[in-house]
Amino acid sequence: MRENFEINPEIARAETLPAAVYHERSWYERAKERIFARSWQLLADVTVPKAAGHVLPFTLLEGCLDEPLVLTVDDDGQLQCLSNVCTHRGALVVEGEGHVKALRCRYHGRRFALDGKFASMPEFDGVANFPRECDDLPRIPLERWGPLLFCNLDPAFAFSEWVKPMEERVGFLPIDRAVYDSSSSRDYLIDANWALYCDNYLEEFHIPFVHNASLAELDYGEYRTELYPYGTLQIGIAKTSADAFSLSPNHLDHGSKVAAFYYWLFPNLMLNFYPWGLSVNLVVPLSPTRTRVSFLSYVWDEQRRASGVGADLHRVEMEDEEVVEAVQRGVRSRFYDRGRYSPRRETGTHHFHRLLARFLND
Ligand code: FES
Ligand SMILES: [Fe+2]
């Protein structure tokens, strides 16, 4: 049964997300269409094509949206993201990576230019009002930030609004020369709802309880969260300056021993900046109670890899997974529905729940 819910904007009065949102399929399906199909999504595991005619089909959010798309470089050298579904009867147009002059559907031979424009169709003489604009392959908004590519099937908010607060704060980092490190990148499969994983990431509260040893180098008293329209920043302050960023005098955080900038971008992306580089966590819902989290590492200073709070991410992840999976069992209980928030330590989670309410309710 599904009913709308409210999250009071005043955290001191608010109640947390209703438990049903974490396990009922109807809420899960609603989140897919209203949140995931309308937000900016990272194209993970995609090598960016460069030469004109290079085509690369991929599935957006496999196991969740399962949307067939294709990257192409058109004749003007522009990278394009197109629907990979033929506008005739729905066959997949590009079946494998390659270099081509134009796109051709092998089912009945419809052709498209590399930018998705309809080009020709055999045996269609006499078809009225043809071709129309909707016979082109739909073009999907595509954006780039450093080494990361993003697309959005039906944007509910602008890319610039989404990344701007982060760009202003960490744009000074050498993100453009960060190198993807496949050896330290991996997927984690978690028996919990995607939003529970985000809830846990977004609150500071559990750090001294769950990560007492693994994040002991963080100064919990100084740890804080900032909120943006479509994201949050958690600033991890180090106890010693050895493991902190060196920040120029005109940086907002100059004088603070920042060990990590932890960004969460609504709904499912975490960009964790450490002195050594960037650790991306991409959260992909697979079912109401199953989630895949891909950890992707982009390194710009290998020397600093072994020290600081970003040194043993696997251990921190195991600690988080255990507790999140236990919460998943808890939210199914007949005795649990909603809780309350700590105004000092759970502002990020409260902000996330308000966004969920805005997108999920009718
Ligand atoms: S489905 Fe593509 S040409 Fe018929
Ligand atoms: Fe954690």
Q: Global pTM?
A: 0.96
Strands 277-287 vs 118-120: parallel, antiparallel or unpaired? unpaired
Which segments of the chain have a pLDDT < 70? 1-2
107 lines ligand 1 (CB under 6 A): yes
Ligand 1 centroid to Cα of residue 139, in Å, is: 18
Instruction: Give the residue, by CA position, lying nearest to ligand 1 atom 1.
Output: 89
For residue 255, what are the contacts with CB-CB under 8 A and spacing of at least 6? 247
Superfamily, domain 160-360: Naphthalene 1,2-dioxygenase Alpha Subunit; Chain A, domain 1 (3.90.380.10)
Report the pLDDT value the prediction gives residue 2, as an integer from 0 to 100: 63
Mutational test site, ligand 1, from 70, 85, 86, max ligand atoms within 8 Å of CB: 86
Q: Among the atoms of ligand 1, which is closest to the Cα of residue 108?
A: 3
The two domains 41-154 and 160-360 share their CATH topology (first three levels equal)? no
Residue 1's pLDDT is 54
Q: At residue 140, what is the residue type?
A: I
Is there a contact between 361 and 4 (Cβ–Cβ < 8 Å)? Answer: yes
- 268/289 Cα distance (integer angstroms): 15
| Token couple for 235 | 């600033």
Give the pLDDT confidence of 175-219 residue by residue, as tens digits. Answer: 999 999 999 899 999 999 999 999 999 999 999 999 998 888 999
Spatial separation of the C-alpha atoms in residues 23 and 289, rounded to whole Å: 6
Q: If you measure from the C-alpha of residue 78 to the centroid of ligand 2, how many angstroms do you get, rounded to a whole number?
A: 40
Residue 106 Cβ contacting ligand 1 at under 6 Å: no
Distance 180 CA to ligand 2 centre (A): 24
Instruction: Convert 307-346 into a string of H (helix), E (strand) and C (coil).
Output: CCCCCCHHHHHHHHHHHHHHHHHHCCCCCCCCCECCCCCC
Q: Is the CB of 137 under 6 A from ligand 1?
A: no
Tracing tokens 């975490």 back to the chain, one arrives at 270
- Cα 343 to ligand 1 centre (Å): 56
pLDDT of the residue at 161: 97
Query: In the chain, where are the structural domains located?
Result: 41-154, 160-360
Are 125 and 328 in contact, with CB atoms under 8 Å apart?
Answer: no
Alpha-carbon gap, residue 47 to 36, rounded angstroms: 22
DSSP string, 2-63: -------SSTTT-B---GGGGT-HHHHHHHHHHTGGGS-EE-TT-PPP-STTEEEEEEETTT
DSSP state for residue 84 in the 8-state scheme: -
Closest ligand to 218 CA? 2
41-154: in CATH 2.102.10.10: yes
